[in-house]
Each structure stands twice: as structure tokens, then as C-alpha cells.
Amino acid sequence: MRVWIPIGALWWLGSYAAFGVFALWLLWKRKGGTGLASSPRKLFQRGELGLFGLLVAVPVVLDLRRSDLPTQLILTNTVILVFSGLMAASAWLEDYSRVSRGLASPDHRTWVDSSKLLFLVLSVAFTTEVLLEHSAEVWQR
Amino acid sequence: MNHTMNSPRLNAVKVRLSDSAVLAGAVSLLYALALIVCPRAFPELLQRVFVWGHFFPALTVLLVITNEILLVVISRRRAQRLGLFTPVCLAILTIAVVLDFRLLVYAADAQAQLSQLFLRTSSGARNGISSDDLLVYTHLAMVSGIFLPYLLVRVTQNYVSDANPAQHDTKARTAVGAQ
């Protein structure tokens, strides 16, 4: 059994995780974001990770459009990716609406929802990239 | 209306989208891992199961069992009462999602067969849907089969609980006042 390494998809996932989350957190810490905001949980407590999830979905949709897959498959995959991204962004939107109405913001719940929904978007996006790379590489060897 | 809202019949288990999101994400990652470890054997296995005709029944059973187990885990973790209505709804929604994908896959299969028959666009060993397309469809069916039923259940719960928004606002404002 020969293991296949999807280098492009791994590079894609690593760069998004590094630049999207950890670089932002490190930048925040360098600018003096100490104390309460010194952890990613405190920095993204308002559900900003959900917005990041929506941003992650967009380049995968563009990659899908460039692929050789059938149109209905591209459309189905796009709908599911965008839908997951929108659900992730809704964690931030829900918190923002609560705060703007003067209601209590459940910080813990917002963080948990946004991080878990970001995990879903990242997983689906990563697997989609793996599938695209697989169709381009493996059968052509 | 208030009597209906306060009755114990509606004190059912509350699901959150993040519960199913973790499971759907984990399944998606496992799928990618299976493809990385077995880049040729895994697609061929799927194709073989599809040709045998056991693909969608197996997928339906797998997803329904997974969703029901997740619902039981959620209700136990939050110590909420699990009635009969939510599991049945969840099973029906899961079956509906898989049926939708079944229609999509069979339509794609028929389209591929027709194009191979009339246009001779491909020289594959087997006529019909390709392994790559089946791989993508299976991935989408698994993720949607877990995420979409919970999303619909969640939306329904939101609709029921938003039936009396003034009560919600009062509760929330009381909580802010207490803080």
C-alpha cells in the first residue's frame, strides 16, 4: 500500500492556519495585547473565528470553479461550503446582534460555536482540496 | 400560547449546530485520511460498492445510526429529556438528504452513460459516473447527512423558542442587570 501525500492541500491548510489565526494572535501579543487578551480564546471571544471560516470557504470555491469537475458537482460542493461558512459567520453575527441590543453576550458559547464551526469549514475545505488534488494527480500517474 | 410554551412537552433536548459540526468535520477529515492512505484502493472500493447497488442503503444506515448516537450523547451531556419526536425527525431528515444525493449521483451516472454512448467523450473501462465524481459526492453526502438534519432541527427549535421574543429579552436583560 503506497501512501499519497497531498502536498498542495497540506500547504493550503498550514498557511491558512498559520497566517489566519496564529499570526494574528502573535501580532496582537507583540503590540502589547497582554493580560486578558493573551490567549486566542480571549482574542476571538466574539466569534471572529466564524468570520474567518467564511473567508476560508471563498478560495476553495474559486479552486472548485477552476477544476474539471462536472458543473452540478461544483455547484453542490459550493453550496455546502458557502453554507458552512455562513453558519460559522452566524456565530459572530449572533453575538454582535446581542451586544448591539444591550443583551448579555455568552462569551463561552460564542467561542465554542465559532471554533467548532471553523473546524467544520476547515475540514470540508481541506478534504475538498485533497479531492481536487487527487483527481489531478493520482489517476494521471 | 404561554401555557403551550411552558408545558413539559416542549422541554425536549436542545441541539446546537456546533455539536454536529464537530462530528461532520471529523468524518470529513477521516475521509481525507482514508484517501491519503489508500489513494487507489479507497475510490475503487466505493466504485465497487456503488456498482453492487449497496452504496446508498449502507450510507443511509450509517448516517442515521451516527446521528441518533450523537443525539443521545447530546441529551445525556446536557441532562435533557429525549422524546420520540426529535429522533424520528432526525432520521427522516437524514434519509431525505441521502435520497437527494442519490438522485444527484444517479443523474450524473445516467448523464455520463449517455455522453459515453452518443458522444464517446471518455474511454474509461466502465461506463457511467467516474471514481472522482463518486468520491466527491460521497464526501458531500456524508458531511451534509450529518450537518443538514441538525441544522434543520436547530432552525425549528429557534422558530419555536422565538415564538415569544419578549420573554427572551426580559430574561436576558434580567441577566445583564444581575451582572
What are B108-119's pLDDT values in tens digits? Answer: 888 888 887 777
- In this model, does residue B98 exceed pLDDT 90? yes
Q: What percent of chain B has pLDDT over 70?
A: 76
Q: Count chain A–chain B contacts defined by CB atoms under 8 A.
A: 115
Of A3, A112, A138, the CB nearest to B37: A3
Measure in Å the smallest separation between the Cα of A18 and chain B Cα atoms. Answer: 19
Is residue A54 in a domain?
Answer: yes
Nearest to A107 by CA among A54, A56, A48, A55: A48
pLDDT of residue A10: 82
pLDDT of residue A86: 92
Q: Could you tell me the pLDDT band of residue B177, with boundaries at 50, 70 and 90?
A: low
Q: Could you tell me the pLDDT band of residue A140, with boundaries at 50, 70 and 90?
A: low
Q: Are B130 and B51 in contact (CB under 8 A)?
A: no
pLDDT of residue A35: 54
- Domain range for residue A108? 7-140
What CA–CA distance (Å, rounded) separates A71 from A73?
A: 5
Is residue A113 in a domain?
Answer: yes
- Contact between A80 and B104 using a beta-carbon 8 Å cutoff: no
What CA–CA distance (Å, rounded) separates B98 from A73?
A: 15
Nearest to B17 by CA among A66, A115, A22, A61: A115
Average pLDDT in chain B: 81
Region for B170 from its dihedrals, namely left if φ exceeds 0, alpha if ψ lies in -120 to 50, beta otherwise: alpha
Q: Could you tell me the pLDDT band of residue B7, with boundaries at 50, 70 and 90?
A: very low
What are A101-113's pLDDT values in tens digits? Answer: 888 777 778 888 8
What are B138-170's pLDDT values in tens digits? Answer: 999 999 999 999 988 888 876 666 555 555 555
What CA–CA distance (Å, rounded) separates A110 from A47?
A: 5
pTM of the model: 0.81
- Contact between B28 and A69 using a beta-carbon 8 Å cutoff: no
Q: How far is CA A106 from CA A36, B6, B25, in A?
A: 17, 23, 24
Is residue A11 in a domain?
Answer: yes
- In this model, does residue A34 exceed pLDDT 60? no
> Can you tell me whether residue B81 is helix, strand or coil?
strand
Is residue A1 in a domain?
Answer: no
- Among the ranges given (A41-45, A92-96, B102-106), the one the predictor scored with the smallest mean pLDDT: A41-45
What CA–CA distance (Å, rounded) separates A123 from B30?
A: 9
What CA–CA distance (Å, rounded) separates B10 from B4?
A: 8
What CA–CA distance (Å, rounded) separates B122 from B131?
A: 13
Is residue A2 in a domain?
Answer: no
What CA–CA distance (Å, rounded) separates B141 from B63?
A: 9
Is residue A33 in a domain?
Answer: yes
Tell me how long chain B is: 179
Is residue A130 in a domain?
Answer: yes
Q: Work out how many domains chain A is built from and give that number.
A: 1
